[in-house]
């Protein structure tokens, strides 16, 4: 009887460890955006910082660097899209970057924020391996933004 119970417990914990635990995340899958740093980085309620995957927005002014062309506009658009709103966060292969920020695809309702910023010319497609789930979509939408001279594609040399 003890062996049967022990066997069941081992089976259960093995199943839990292999099947259930990997699907559980210690990171939020949705949260309210409390601060927008720039066009591709936000802070969530609870303090987690999120860097959007697959794209890169121009930098705003920092103590160590000058603002890049269209940086303020990208930050303002990101604020308009997400500040004060509840976002859904979807991971790819890598959970965090070298700075400890969560790497995520960000949605507000059905709006795919990473891609919207690229499509409207507030950011450039910049997928980084191994996070390539939407790389082709980002490149396609960047080409469209260039062709239509949207955002930074018309404002920046």
Q: Would you say residue 1 lies in a domain?
A: no
Is there a catalytic annotation at residue 101? yes
pLDDT tens, 16-63? 334 443 444 567 799 999 999 999 999 999 999 999 999 999 999 878
Q: Would you say residue 121 lies in a domain?
A: yes
Cβ contacts of 87 within 8 Å, gap of 6 or more:
30, 31, 32, 33, 42, 44, 106, 107, 108, 113
Q: What is residue 47's predicted lDDT score, i.e. its pLDDT?
A: 96
Q: What is residue 14's predicted lDDT score, i.e. its pLDDT?
A: 42
Q: Tell me which of 77, 101, 104, 120 is the catalytic residue.
A: 101
Is there a catalytic annotation at residue 120? no
pLDDT tens, 86-137? 999 999 999 999 999 999 999 999 999 999 999 999 999 999 999 999 999 9
Q: Would you say residue 15 lies in a domain?
A: no
Q: Would you say residue 56 lies in a domain?
A: yes
Q: Would you say residue 85 lies in a domain?
A: yes
pLDDT surpassing 50 at residue 13: no
Say how far apart CA 10 and CA 103 lie, in whole Å: 35
CATH number, domain containing residue 120: 2.40.50.90
Q: Would you say residue 12 lies in a domain?
A: no
> How many structural domains comprise the chain?
1
pLDDT surpassing 90 at residue 79: yes
Strand partners, 111: 108
For residue 95, the enclosing domain spans 28-155
Count other C-beta atoms under 10 Å from residue 17's C-beta.
10
Cis check: omega of the bond before 130, within 30 degrees of 0? yes
Is there a catalytic annotation at residue 150? no
Q: Would you say residue 3 lies in a domain?
A: no
pLDDT surpassing 80 at residue 152: yes
Q: Would you say residue 45 lies in a domain?
A: yes
What band does 3 get if pLDDT is binned at 50, 70 and 90? low
């Amino acid at each position: 009887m003890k062996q049967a119970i022990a066997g069941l417990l081992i089976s259960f914990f093995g199943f839990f460890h292999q099947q259930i635990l990997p699907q559980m995340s210690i990171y939020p899958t949705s949260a309210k955006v409390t601060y927008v740093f720039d066009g591709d980085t936000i802070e969530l309620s609870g303090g987690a910082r999120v860097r959007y995957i697959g794209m890169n927005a121009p930098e705003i002014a920092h103590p160590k660097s000058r603002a890049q062309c269209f940086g303020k506009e990208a930050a303002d658009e990101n604020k308009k899209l997400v500040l004060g709103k509840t976002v859904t966060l979807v991971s790819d292969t890598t959970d965090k970057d070298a700075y400890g920020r969560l790497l995520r695809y960000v949605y507000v309702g059905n709006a795919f924020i990473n891609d919207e910023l690229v499509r409207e010319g507030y950011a450039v497609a910049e997928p980084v391996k191994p996070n390539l789930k939407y790389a082709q979509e980002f490149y396609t939408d960047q080409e469209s933004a260039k062709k239509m001279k949207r955002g930074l594609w018309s404002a920046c040399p």
